[in-house]
Structures are given as structure tokens and as C-alpha cells.
Amino acid sequence: MNIQEAKAEIVRTYRAYTRRSADGSHRIPPEKQRPILLIGPPGIGKTAIMRQISEETGAGLVAYSMTHHTRQSAIGLPFISQRDYGGKRTSVTEYTMSEIVASIYDYMAATGKRSGILFLDEINCVSETLAPVMLQLLQNKTFGTHRIPEDWIIVAAGNPPEYNKSVRDLDMATLDRVKNMEIAADLGVWQEYALAHDIHPAIRTYLTVYPDHFYNITNSDRGQLFVTARGWEDLSCILLAYEEENESVGSEFFLQYLQHDEIARSFGMYYDLFAHFSGEGDLASRLRDHPEELREFTATQCLAAAAMLFHGIETAAGDWAGALSRLDSLAAQIRLLPPDLDFADEERKSEFFRSRRQTLDVRVQHDVIKPEEELRERWVLDTLERSAAEWIKGDRSAPFTDHAAEQIAGERARLDAQARSILSQIEAAYAVLEQCPRGRSAALYLTTDLSGCEATAALLKDRPCEAWLRYCRELLKEE
């Protein structure tokens, strides 16, 4: 599975494990709650999704890297206590509370959160003396004699042996007690994440041209050469910071984050090209105004230009499609309003929105709604409530539905103008690429991206432009 699928599965598991029946007992008994084991290459985002899950669900999060722990810190330190056995006072060895278990109680006291996730990274890199303790943890959620608090689930993570020499194979007895999830790198999922988190556009477009450079590990006589998702994201952060200060970077700079000579060199050349054509203003216009440069483009530069042009189109189309989807949902909600609902009645209005939000919260709690649907529905309720407030304060000679319909019509007109602007961008992109010496290949590349992007495909389905249709026909002939 990819990292996004793993994240969704962890959220579902957390909610299932912490759900209670009517009598207060766990819906899934604690002894049947298998710890989650994530196995995937380093730098793929295992730790990042744990933070996201905590933020999005409100779950507590306590994280540890197990390579930093000894048997004593995991199970606690021994001390001598006195007990009566068979009428005789006897000295026995007990253990202080595990540092890890204690940290959960400290976290609960500090935050007030009673449920959460204990995340143990590098679980399969522990020392030989700590390995039995890990097995005990996975079997019954205890460190030594101290149990993990109720409503806290365990998520452990590790790397496959080919990525880490210190990895020890988990035996069948351990694997039979965990919910095992193997994660693979997925550029498509990462690109969605990258767009939402403002990863540097040079990185996003470069990986569109060179998808095999996203996650790459190569063995050489100097050891492993590698590039990871973590490396690309950290490189994005420093590039954006340097650009704000007008700091320049040299060719050796990229090796600090992309520890693969060939990929670092390739991206460095691409970044220079991107920086050259990414000043203020419209990229297609600037490229069109420099025909002498376009005529000298190499095949790679033509593809890079296509990727940069598509990036601008994709961003605009994504905004358009998202706004249109929200507007359609709003219109559907208005059509379903009860005929006798009077928003001028403050009590009925408040009860209507309270009830709708409560129903949405229940759907979220029972995991029967996707996160993007939840965000859209909350937007609809917020927008509808604002619109009702405007209607109440304004001229109420017309019913609220007429007022809302007028607002929706105005927004649809704005989105229609935005769609025409995006289509103009697409036509301009094709016009630019056709001036390149290898423009046909770049134009076919752009056509594939436009057809594969959900937002641009939806736009072009209803309003196909001539250039896109022409290259679509060429692609069909080649197939």
C-alpha cells in the first residue's frame, strides 16, 4: 500500500480500537487489538503521517525511536522490595515504571487527552537484549510490569532489511500478533501531498519529468546512493528560505539533500532552468517572447518547459474544480432545505445548523465519510449559515432560497470566467511548445498530463480545446 492508504487504515484502526459499546466496554476487546506494524523504506513519511493523524483526529501522540533505548529504560530499573510469602518476609526484585509508559501518563496530564497513539520507530533495529521486551509489548501492551494506558494504541515502524544493516528479522510469533502493513513509495500520492503543502514547484515539476528519481536507492562502490521523499521535502524548505533572502546555490548544494550524484546534478541543471523562466509574470508569455531560446532547447529542456507550463495550469484548474465542487454541494443542500424552514426564526435556524453539524460529527466518528467530503460539507454549512445571516440583515422581501440562488449564479459566472482563462492558458502552452525543436514530444507529454489530471480532464471534457484534441488523436494513433 502507499503512505496515504496506510494513514487512512491507521485512522480507521484507532477509531475501531477506542470505540466503546453501550455498556462502556471496548467494541474490540484489548486482547484482540493487534499493534500496527508499518514496514517501509526510510524517508517515505511514516513519522509524518503520525503527526497528521494526531492533528486531524485529535488523538494524543507520544513518539520514540527505539534505537535510543536500552532494556532498562524500556522496562524500568530494578529495586528491592519486601513481601510476605508463606508467612515469611522475603526480599523481591521489582521494577520502576518504564520511561516510555511514564511519558504517556505525563502527556495525558499535560494535555488532558485520554486516548492516543504510542509510536515506536525503528522497532526492528533494537538490541538483542531489548528484543524480548518488544515481543512482550506486542503481545500484551506492557513494558515490564507496567501496561500501556487504556485507549492508547501502539503503532510500530521499521525498515526492510535491504535499507538498514542493523535490522533484525521479526519471527513468525511476533508477526502473528501484529497488524502488518507494508508501504511502498508512490509518487502520485506524494505529489498530492506536495501540492497541498507548497513543496517547491521546481521539485514537483522535475519529478513529473523524472518520476524514477523520486525514491531511488542505488548500490555503488562507494556504498548506497539514495534519494528519499524526506530529502525532497527538506530540500524544498531550504530552497524556499534561500529564495526569500535572494541567496544563490551552487551545484554542490543539492548533494547535501539528494545523496545521489547523478540525480543531484540533474536536478541542479533543471533548477537553473526553472529559475531562469520563473520570474514574475506569465510563463507562456515569457517563453513566447524568447523564440531564440526556445529554438535551442534540448529534449530535456522541452519536457521541462512542458512540466512547468502544466504546473501553472494544474494549480489553477485544481482551484477551479474545488470551488465548483463546493458550489455544487451548496446548491444541492439548498434544494434539500425543508419547505417550512424559516431562517428568520433564530431558534429554528440555530437548531438546524446544530443538528446538521452534529450529524456530520457522528459520521466522522464512525468513519463513514472521507476527509475531503467532511471538509466540503463543513464549508457548505458555514457558507449557508453566512448567507442566511446576510439575508436576515438585508431585504427579506424575497425568500431565502432566491437570495441563495442569486449568490450561486454570481459565483458560477465567476467560475465560468476562470475556466475560460485556464483554457486560454492551455492553448498558449501548446503554442509555445510547438515552437521548440522537439515540440511535438513535449506537446504529447503535456497532453498526457492534462488528460491524467482529474481537474484539467474534467474541464476539457466539457470544453475541449482544439490543440488538446489534436494531440489526443495523435496519441490514439500511436497506441
pLDDT exceeds 60 at position 11: yes
Confidence of residue 408 (pLDDT cuts 50, 70, 90): very high
The residues near 401 (Cβ < 8 Å, ≥ 6 apart) are 334, 337
In whole angstroms, give the CA distance from residue 403 to residue 47. 48
Please tell me the least confidently modeled range out of 20-29, 51-60, 197-206, 281-290.
281-290
Whole-number mean pLDDT of the chain? 83
Residue 132 has pLDDT above 90, yes or no: no
Mean pLDDT of 361-381: 83
Share of the chain above pLDDT 70, in %: 89
Whole-Å CA distances, 472 to 255, 305, 457: 39, 19, 12
DSSP string, 338-393: -TT--TTSHHHHHHHHHHHHHHHHHHHHTT-S-HHHHHHHHHHHHHHHHHHHHHHH
CB-based contact 291:431 (threshold 8 Å): no
Assess whether pLDDT exceeds 70 at residue 359. yes
CATH 3.30.70.141, domain 3-71+105-184, yes or no: no
Enumerate long-range contacts of 161-165, CB under 8 Å, 24 or more apart: 163/41, 163/42, 163/217, 164/42, 164/125
Q: Residues 263-273: what's their mean pLDDT?
A: 87
Tell me which range, 103-107, 295-299, 302-306, 435-439, is most confidently predicted by mean pLDDT: 103-107
What are the sequence ranges of the domains in the chain? 3-71+105-184
- Model pLDDT, residue 70: 59
pLDDT at residue 453, as a whole number: 83
Low-confidence winner among 54-58, 260-264, 293-297, 462-466 (lowest mean pLDDT): 293-297
What is the rounded average pLDDT of the residues 1-9? 88
C-alpha grid cell, residue 171: 519471527
Average pLDDT over residues 166-173: 68
For residues 149 and 134, give the distance between their C-alpha atoms in angstroms, rounded to a whole number: 17
Q: How much is the average pLDDT of 246-259?
A: 87
Q: C-alpha cell of 460?
A: 476539457
Q: What is the pLDDT of residue 146?
A: 76
Confidence of residue 178 (pLDDT cuts 50, 70, 90): confident
More confident residue, 173 or 72: 173
First to last CA, the chain: 30
- DSSP run (H or E) holding 121: strand 116-121
The better pLDDT of the pair 96, 281 is held by 96
CA distances in angstroms from 405 to 104, 332, 343, 380, 412, listed in the order given = 52, 11, 15, 14, 10
Are 37 and 123 in contact by the 8 Å Cβ rule? The answer is: yes
418 — pLDDT class (breaks 50, 70, 90): very high
For residue 251, the model assigns a pLDDT of: 77
pLDDT bracket for residue 168 (50, 70, 90): low
User: What would the mean pLDDT of 37-60 be, rounded to a whole number?
Assistant: 85
Q: Which pLDDT belongs to residue 396? A: 81
Q: Which of residues 404 and 125 earns the better pLDDT score?
A: 404
Residue 285 banded pLDDT, cuts 50, 70, 90: confident
Considering only residues 160 and 163, tell me which one the structure prediction assigns the higher pLDDT. 160
Most confident of 30-34, 156-160, 194-198, 335-339: 335-339
pTM reported for the whole predicted model: 0.60
pLDDT of residue 32: 84
Res 423 pLDDT > 90: yes
What pLDDT does residue 421 have?
93
pLDDT-derived band at 79 (thresholds 50, 70, 90) equals: low
Name the DSSP class of 98. P
Output DSSP code: residue 337. Answer: S
Q: What is the band of 287 on the pLDDT scale with cuts at 50, 70, 90? A: confident
Q: 399 vs 417, which has greater pLDDT?
A: 417
pLDDT at 384 (0 to 100)? 92
Give pLDDT, residue 410.
94
Please determine, for residue 5, whether its predicted confidence score (pLDDT) is greater than 80: yes
Between 178 and 136, name the one with better pLDDT. Answer: 178
